[in-house]
Chains A and B, each alone.
Chain A
Amino acid sequence: MIQVEHLTRRYGELTAVDDVSFHIGQGEVVGLLGHNGAGKTTIMKMLTGFLEPTAGFIRVDNLRIGEDTRAIQNRIGYLPENCPLYPEMTVIDYLDYQAGLHGVPEYKRAPSVARAIRRTALREKASDTIQTLSRGYRQRVGVAQAILHEPAIVILDEPTNGLDPTQILHMRELIRELAQESTVIVSTHILQEVQAICERVLILRAGRLVLDSRLDALQSGRRLLVSVDGDATAALARVDGVEAVEERGRANGRFTYALAANDEAAPAVAAALQAAGRKLYVLQPEPHDLETVFAEVNAIESAAEVAHG
């Protein structure tokens, strides 16, 4: 459905997006993951036709950005970064205005606006001016604007940015709901975000696509963190399912290890430590964040280099 080939974008000297290619199929929920400045927003701006690529091309349903930009824009609902809105308008006026701009015909406009308001749970704020709304509500107005014309593709740039935990849960729920009908692309710099809503992740670093993987594949290479009251290297190495033991540090009489093992191995690890007479303080899957993923990707890359070198 979306085909991106060798996409490159430069701002003067700076290469924001560097030779990125990927395909996204109908109905997929894809997370664009990367630090600030990794090129997520630039890619989204090119997908929506706001920016022209320096090189490469984007195709949506066999339409090409640049030639059929308007037709593509018609199929896309977009929440830009920082959720820009007109503060002096009321929610309902703003949505009605946007519906008009997105080519929703007159007779369908009121139902479309009502539907978007219902889906984003904005009903009690519908007649308030946008400047009186809290950040969470504004973000919802932004999403409502993106889904007004029932687009086949919804692109949300950091939809949970600046929301409190409850609002984040609501937003995730809404995105999951959207994903039932549309192809959804979400950008974020928080890995948990992707894990909560996406099936597939594209990881960007410094403008390059470093990983394109299904999320379940990403989770398989997990590690267990163990903290005990003494040296347990030998005891841990003997446990079935533990492929490697790496000491992470000693502090306050606690020894911390990272085990290359699935979390299936956790009970066996606990039992082995018990048998060895060690007091177990921590046994948990290693928290998976962007850093550890990057570390893994790096490890894979350098291993590949060694193999090829």
Chain B
Amino acid sequence: MDEALRIARKEFTGFFASPAAFLFLGAFLAVTLFVFFWVETFFARNIADVRPLFQWMPVLLIFLVAALTMRAWSEERRAGTLETLLTSPVRPLQLVLGKFLAGVALVGVALLLTLPLPVTVALLGPLDWGPVIGGYVGALLLGAAYLAVGQFVSALTENQILAFILALFVCLALWGIGTEAFTGFFSDRVAAILLSLGTGSRFQSIARGVIDLRDLLYYLSLTAFFLLLSVGALRAKRWV
């Protein structure tokens, strides 16, 4: 765990070495604010809550996380630094966890940056903080699941643009299977299953402020599944 934390620290500080980092976070923040005030017309609704913020999280986070993770392994592969990592006596699991924790911290920073929003709302009217806190916890877990997907995809290719597109594709698919536009094609039973598998539909109750253990478990298992796939992808490198 010590090693994973060290890797996480290096990854986290390394991320801010490039101006792209600020661009990603800035863009995420800008889009979030745009959606909140214009698309969801916060002032016209005349309700002091931040539900629209969390309703859009499942989609907005996809783009942020895909941008954050695209370099994770593809850059190490391209530059050859993967060889120094895999020939050091560190378990691949530690490497994967390290990168993952750094990603979680970055998503945490991005979410923290949206915090002025609920604070402003609280100043304007009586805001119920329960759902807001629940929403942030849920968003972090959702982001963690996307991070695991992004990291796995990045371990498959040397090309970070390809990793970005693949991550978008997989995450959007995971989100899309739970949307009404998609579940409408199926019978009620299949639709129910799809709803329980979609990252967005799972977030509905969280956005409403209801934290269900099953939802949390869903995100955690999705995360663990893709993290293990990343470990597998790194191990498989030895046989190629």
Measuring CB to CB, which residues of chain A are less than 8 angstroms from any residue of chain B? 11, 45, 48-52, 70-71, 73-74, 76, 78, 80-82, 84-86, 88-89, 97-98, 100-103, 145
Residue of A nearest to B76 (CB): A84
Q: List 12 A-B contacts (CB under 8 A).
A: A45-B83, A50-B83, A52-B238, A71-B89, A80-B84, A84-B80, A85-B79, A85-B81, A86-B79, A86-B81, A98-B88, A103-B89
CB distance from B22 to the nearest CB of A (A): 14
| CB interface residues, B 9-51, toward A, < 8 Å | 10, 14, 17-18
Given contacts A51-B238, A78-B84, A101-B3, contact A86 B14 (CB under 8 A): yes
A101 lies within 8 A of B14 (CB): no
CB distance from B224 to the nearest CB of A (A): 23
B185 at the interface (CB under 8 A from A): no
Residue of A nearest to B236 (CB): A52
Size class of the B contact interface (CB-based, 8 Å) = 20 to 34
CB distance from B11 to the nearest CB of A (A): 10
B86 at the interface (CB under 8 A from A): yes
Given contacts A84-B80, A84-B83, A86-B14, contact A100 B91 (CB under 8 A): no
A101 lies within 8 A of B238 (CB): no
A101 lies within 8 A of B17 (CB): no
Give the chain B neighbours of A97 by CB distance below 8 A.
Answer: 6, 10
Given contacts A48-B87, A97-B6, contact A80 B18 (CB under 8 A): no
B83 lies within 8 A of A80 (CB): yes
Which of A50, A78, A81, A98 is the one whose CB lies under 8 Å from B238? A50
A50 to B82, CA, bound (A): 9
B83 lies within 8 A of A73 (CB): no
Give the chain B neighbours of A73 by CB distance below 8 A.
Answer: 87-89
Give the chain A neighbours of B240 by CB distance below 8 A.
Answer: 11
Measuring CB to CB, which residues of chain B are less than 8 angstroms from any residue of chain A? 3, 6-7, 10, 14, 17-18, 79-91, 237-240
Give the chain B neighbours of A89 by CB distance below 8 A.
Answer: 10, 14
B10 lies within 8 A of A70 (CB): no
Give the chain A neighbours of B6 by CB distance below 8 A.
Answer: 97, 100-101
CB distance from A204 to the nearest CB of B (A): 20
Give the chain B neighbours of A48 by CB distance below 8 A.
Answer: 87
Residue of A nearest to B238 (CB): A52
Residue of A nearest to B83 (CB): A80
Give the chain B neighbours of A102 by CB distance below 8 A.
Answer: 88-89
Residue of A nearest to B81 (CB): A84
Given contacts A88-B14, A89-B14, A97-B6, contact A49 B87 (CB under 8 A): yes
B3, B83, B90: which has the most chain A beta carbons within 10 Å? B83
A45 to B240, CA, bound (A): 12
B83 lies within 8 A of A101 (CB): no
Which of A80, A88, A101, A145 is the one whose CB lies under 8 Å from B80? A80
Not counting A101-B88, A101-B89, A103-B89, a sample of 10 additional A-B residue pairs whose C-beta atoms are within 8 angstroms of each other reads A11-B240, A48-B87, A50-B238, A52-B239, A70-B89, A80-B84, A84-B79, A85-B81, A88-B18, A98-B88
Residue of B nearest to A142 (CB): B84
CB distance from A73 to the nearest CB of B (A): 4
Give the chain B neighbours of A86 by CB distance below 8 A.
Answer: 14, 79, 81
